[in-house]
Amino acid sequence: MDIPRGILALMDPLSVYIHIPFCKSRCGYCDFNTYAGVEYLIDAYASAVCRELTFLSQNAPEDIPIKTIFFGGGTPSIVPEKYFEQIFDTIFRFYRIIDEAEISLEANPWPLTYLYLKRLRQLGFNRISIGMQSAIRSELRLLDRRHDFCDVSNAVEWSRRAGFENLNLDLIFGLPGQKVRDWMESLQLAVGFQPEHLSLYALTIEEGTVLGGQISKGLLPSPDEDIAAEIYEWTMEYLASEFTQYEISNWAHSMPDNSSPFCNHNLQYWHNQPYLGFGAGAHGWFDHKRLVNVLTPVDYIRAIGTHKKVHFPHTPATTEINLIDIETEMQETMMLGLRLTQEGVKSENFYTRFGKEMEVVFEKEISDLCSLGLLEWSPGRKSLRLSYRGRFLGNQVFLRFV
């Protein structure tokens, strides 16, 4: 019997992303969908998110099981706790949250307080991701970050005291003029905090940002790709004894019980599995559709207030719906899965999902990239993954699959 594919997807627990598009100020390198100086909208925005969550659940053909919830931004940690309480009340009322669900908050080190973190932990957050970025004052200034290393130290200590046992630190490397030894110092200090997880991203210069403008006017040098590669290589070696690199930019601490605190929410993306997005500009991927919400907080609040009649998985805030055909889904599965440096794309999973062998569908791409030494098969050809060399040239590898 054929089961409709949408319903099949519904049987597996999903991930939920909730976008919080508010920041205290804009950082010079950031092109995210976020706004400074409009915190007065938070109250109406939180109510709109609750309405969107309620709307979707009430239109769903069955209970929606949730395995991860991620509040990203923007800066979710500037939202007063009462609004998280309101959103959690809605989620726990209308969705089936599975036991051991991962519930993450992105936080900036400043402004934070112990009492705030404790309250969030009590509400149900069990993972915190702190935007440290660097330990070097001049680098933080270059990035327009408003915190310093002392704020990071307090944020980590308070998070631990508040009961967060799963803590990530975000750092950025490859800054204009960055010295390798400064990166080493930042990373060594970050490791000293004993985080369960590290996300270490190479800076990309985005058009339209303040930093992008300074570079194009010649006021700052462009990031040096050779130095970024040297930093990345040193980082992989430095972390190898204590951490598992499971994704191009992500490391999980090796735990005594052999468990690995991977970010389950991001794994859902990298496995190209369905997720629902709520809030301004949020994206979702469900039932072979990519859904995009209206961009600005004001338009979002307005759209949610219209009570427009739409069908699951759309909500009144959905502004774009792109049908993803099977070819595109296969390409995206390769591009995302190959980010997973250990696991790669598993042959069996690919076949179960698409009814075709990955090495037949992408015969030429795989053979070319293997001969260039950028991809490799795991023993027994169980999965295809980036080689060590391929990790430095990930974007070139992924582009071959589009």
| Of the candidate residues 10, 16, 18, 27, the single one contacting ligand SF4 (CB under 6 A) | 27
Of 46, 73, 164, 270, the residue at the interface with ligand SF4 (CB under 6 A) is: 73
Nearer of residues 34 and 293 to ligand SF4, judged by Cβ: 34
Least Å distance, CB 110 to ligand SF4, is 10
Read off the amino acid at residue 350.
F
Q: Using CB under 6 A, which of the segments 72-80, 223-231, 233-241, 356-364 binds ligand SF4?
A: 72-80
Q: Is 318 in the site for ligand SF4 (CB under 6 A)?
A: no
Contacting residue, 57, 74, 244, 341, with ligand SF4 by CB under 6 A: 74
For ligand SF4, which stretch binds (CB under 6 A), given 23-31, 233-241, 318-326, 341-349? 23-31
Cis-peptide, bond into residue 355, ω within 30° of zero: no
Q: Is 132 an interacting residue with respect to ligand SF4 (CB under 6 A)?
A: no
Query: Pairing between strand 197-202 and 167-173?
Result: parallel
Asked if residue 34 binds ligand SF4 (CB under 6 A), the reply is yes
Order of strands, sheet of 275-278, starting from the edge strand that comes earlier in the sequence: 243-247, 250-253, 197-202, 167-173, 127-133, 96-107, 65-73, 14-20, 275-278, 283-286, 289-293, 318-323
Give yes or no for residue 26 binding ligand SF4 (CB under 6 A). yes
The answer, yes or no, to whether the previous bond of 61 is cis (omega within 30 of 0) is: no
Pick between residue 133 and residue 341 the one whose CB is nearest to ligand SF4. Answer: 133
Query: In which residue are the tokens 């030494």 written?
Result: 373
Contact at 8 Å (CB) between 68 and 16? yes
CB closer to ligand SF4 out of 72 and 344: 72
Written as one letter, the residue type at 313 is P
Q: Residue 28 burial (CB < 10 Å; 0-12/13-18/19+)?
A: middle
- The one-character DSSP state at 179 is -
CB of 393 to ligand SF4, least distance (A): 26
23 binds ligand SF4 (CB under 6 A): yes
Q: Which is nearer to ligand SF4, 107 or 252 (CB)?
A: 107
Q: Which of 32, 35, 201, 354 binds ligand SF4 (CB under 6 A)?
A: 32
Question: What is the nearest approach in angstroms of ligand SF4 to the Cβ of residue 131?
Answer: 6
Residues contacting ligand SF4: total by CB under 6 A? 11
Nearer to ligand SF4, 203 or 310 (CB): 203
Residue closer to ligand SF4 (CB basis): 18 or 66: 18
Which residues are 385's β-sheet partners? 376
Is residue 301 near ligand SF4 by the rule CB under 6 A?
no
Rounded Cα distance between 231 and 172, Å, is: 11
Instruction: Give the closest residue to 264 by CA, choosing from 21, 19, 63, 66.
Output: 66
Beta bridge partners of 245: 251
Q: Does 331 bind ligand SF4 (CB under 6 A)?
A: no
130 exposure class (CB count in 10 Å sphere: 0-12, 13-18, 19+): buried
Smallest gap, in angstroms, from Cβ of residue 108 to ligand SF4?
A: 5
User: Of the two residues 6 and 111, which places its CB atom closer to ligand SF4 in the complex?
Assistant: 111
By CB under 6 A, the residues from 100 to 129 that bind ligand SF4 are 108
- Rounded to a whole number of angstroms, the CA Rg of the chain reads 21
User: Which residue has 């699959």 as its token pair?
Assistant: 401
| C-beta separation of 202 from 232 below 8 A | yes
Judged by beta carbon, residue 45 or residue 286, the one nearer ligand SF4 is 45
**Span near ligand SF4 by CB under 6 A; candidates 19-27, 114-122, 281-289, 298-306:** 19-27
Residues that bind ligand SF4 (CB under 6 A): 23, 26-27, 30, 32, 34, 73-75, 108, 131
